[in-house]
């Protein structure tokens, strides 16, 4: 077999090796014998080079008119369209999720590219009437400087696009650290942006571990804002690193999302939603529906249908078009999933299906796990409270709508929730009372669109949002401007009637 390709960092417009000379291999989670490539195991020295390049490039990039900055994004989106299938196949091979999903991942990056390119001719501020005569008042956005972008492995192109595109169109420069499990998709994304003719130093790419690369980025005083998606534990570290210097950070972290199935729900539709919400991306989404609360009137019927469908899901290599669920991202994550299954059993949850790693035959060299459902769960059980990030769903019975809302809100996270019902009044009550950043009616907890804000409440985030126009607030500061053309001293906020 040919030696795997070596991929380099991208710093100041050049593809370069890590200064320490160290590398790491990236393997296919569906078949660990398949080495995707060799990537740079960078350290603080490489991070400092990238930040220095971005800091210098910011001087001129911020002065490029926003519509011109947007043209680079538009060209990148066009290239993503042209290479969508190739990029999706690379992503399935390095991340494991099925081709339909990786095509969707690339499509999100395409959509975000075109959307944020449009913002280059908007980036709206406000003009407002002054309280004084012959005075003009307005507000504008101004860029922040160098942005540190740290992204997870489950959406290795979509999530970087949510952050990098708005950062660039606002006039910032970027240092991007992808997840070590999925560096190829990040590399592909950066390569395309470089091919648009982006000036050197505007976008920099450094691979390596969180400790060796992520921590130096988050602690560096020349990084004005950190945009992070990942675990709540690491998000807390980002917040603490930025706090002493009052540097900005945007955090999108964990979730323990729930689907509520009422007694008047379309059960077939609800089962479809629970299946996709619980086992799409092998449950490895921050928006995954890892809890399903079902009204006791329909609990037995729903659970039987749900279990039957889950047992029939085809698990395997995502490049096979007949496969419906891929592997866990790595062996460590599969072990975490299995440990939670043991916790569920010990807590008294009733194992309805799954509960075992898949290790024979075609699964032998991958990190596969059975689609797993626990029934009769108490909402306070650990499997119903803690984020598992795998194909494990806890089904919880309830009596009333009010009880279901209380169960939904009774976790430390607040990302996404869903309600299945035919009652429009109850639907609107749910939209009001479910304390999550995203609420779906008659749809699962996954499937957010790029033109609306993405993020959550409580331990899911720190009040900022990815995507939509809300992303612009992460990567820009407001500046209020006043022009007095009266030729005299006018004093605002002074009582002129005194």
Q: Catalytic residue among 286, 328, 353, 377, which?
A: 286
Cα separation, 122 vs 77, whole angstroms: 18
Beta strands 372-375 and 350-353 are antiparallel
Cα separation, 287 vs 489, whole angstroms: 56
Cα separation, 197 vs 393, whole angstroms: 46
235 Cβ contact list (under 8 Å, min separation 6): 228, 251, 252, 253, 462
Ramachandran angles phi, psi of 28, nearest 5°: -70, 120
Look up 286 and say whether it is catalytic. yes
CA 66 vs. chain centroid, Å, equals: 25
Burial of 232 by CB count in 10 Å (0-12 exposed, 13-18 middle, 19+ buried)?
middle
Q: Are 185 and 178 contacting, i.e. CB atoms less than 8 angstroms apart?
A: yes
Look up 387 and say whether it is catalytic. no
Cα separation, 14 vs 45, whole angstroms: 16
Q: Catalytic residue among 101, 108, 119, 252, which?
A: 252
199 Cβ contact list (under 8 Å, min separation 6): 13, 57, 60, 61
Cα separation, 374 vs 164, whole angstroms: 39
Ramachandran angles phi, psi of 458, nearest 5°: 55, -130
Beta strand ranges found along 45-199 (DSSP E)? 126-129, 135-143, 146-150, 173-177
423 Cβ contact list (under 8 Å, min separation 6): 262, 264
Nearest residue to 281 via CA among 149, 66, 124, 447? 447
Tokens of 440: 């779906």
For residue 451, CA distances in Å to 26, 170, 287 come to 33, 17, 17
Cα separation, 158 vs 239, whole angstroms: 23
Please give the helix or strand (H or E) that residue 36 lies within, else none. strand 31-40
3-state secondary structure 240-251: HHHHHHCCEEEE
Beta strands 457-458 and 372-375 are unpaired
- Residues designated catalytic: 252, 286
């Amino acid at each position: 077999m040919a030696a795997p390709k070596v991929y380099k960092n991208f710093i100041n417009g050049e593809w370069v090796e890590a200064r320490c000379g160290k590398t790491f291999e990236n393997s296919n989670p569906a078949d660990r014998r398949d080495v995707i490539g060799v990537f740079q195991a960078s350290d603080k020295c490489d991070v400092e080079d990238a930040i220095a390049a971005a800091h210098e490039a910011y001087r001129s990039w911020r002065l490029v008119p926003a519509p011109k900055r947007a043209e680079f994004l538009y060209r990148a989106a066009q290239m993503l369209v042209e290479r969508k299938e190739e990029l999706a196949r690379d992503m399935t091979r390095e991340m494991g999720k099925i081709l339909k999903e990786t095509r969707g991942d690339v499509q999100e990056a395409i959509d975000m590219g075109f959307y944020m390119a449009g913002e280059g001719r908007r980036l709206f501020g406000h003009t407002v009437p002054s309280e004084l005569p012959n005075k003009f008042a307005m507000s504008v956005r101004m860029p922040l400087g160098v942005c540190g972008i740290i992204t997870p492995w489950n959406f290795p192109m979509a999530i970087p696009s949510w952050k990098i595109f708005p950062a660039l169109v606002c006039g910032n420069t970027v240092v991007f650290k992808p997840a070590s499990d999925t560096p190829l998709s990040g590399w592909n994304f950066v390569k395309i942006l470089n091919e648009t003719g982006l000036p050197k130093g505007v976008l920099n790419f450094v691979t390596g571990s969180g400790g060796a690369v992520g921590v130096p980025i988050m602690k560096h005083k020349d990084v004005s804002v950190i945009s992070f998606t990942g675990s709540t534990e690491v998000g807390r570290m980002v917040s603490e690193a930025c706090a002493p210097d009052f540097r900005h950070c945007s955090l999108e972290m964990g979730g323990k999302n729930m689907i509520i199935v009422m007694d008047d729900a379309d059960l077939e539709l609800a089962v479809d939603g629970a299946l996709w919400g619980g086992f799409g991306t092998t449950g490895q989404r921050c928006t995954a529906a890892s809890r399903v609360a079902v009204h006791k009137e329909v609990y037995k019927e729903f659970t039987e249908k749900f279990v039957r469908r889950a047992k029939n899901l085809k698990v395997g290599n995502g490049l096979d078009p007949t496969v419906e669920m891929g592997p866990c991202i790595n062996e460590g994550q599969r072990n975490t999933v299995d440990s939670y299954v043991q916790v569920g059993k010990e807590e008294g949850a009733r194992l309805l299906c799954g509960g075992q790693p898949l290790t024979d035959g075609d699964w032998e060299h991958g990190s596969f796990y059975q689609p797993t459902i626990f029934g009769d769960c108490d909402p306070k059980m650990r499997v119903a409270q803690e984020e598992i990030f795998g194909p494990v769903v806890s089904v919880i019975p309830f009596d009333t709508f009010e009880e279901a809302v209380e169960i939904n809100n009774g976790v430390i996270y607040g990302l996404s929730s869903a309600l299945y019902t035919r009652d429009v009044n109850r639907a609107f009550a749910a939209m009001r009372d479910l304390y999550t950043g995203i609420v779906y009616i008659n749809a699962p907890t996954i499937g957010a669109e790029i033109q609306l804000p993405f993020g959550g409440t409580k331990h899911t985030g720190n009040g900022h949002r990815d995507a939509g126009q809300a992303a612009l607030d992460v990567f820009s500061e407001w500046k209020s401007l006043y022009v007095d053309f009266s030729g005299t001293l006018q004093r605002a906020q002074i009582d002129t009637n005194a």
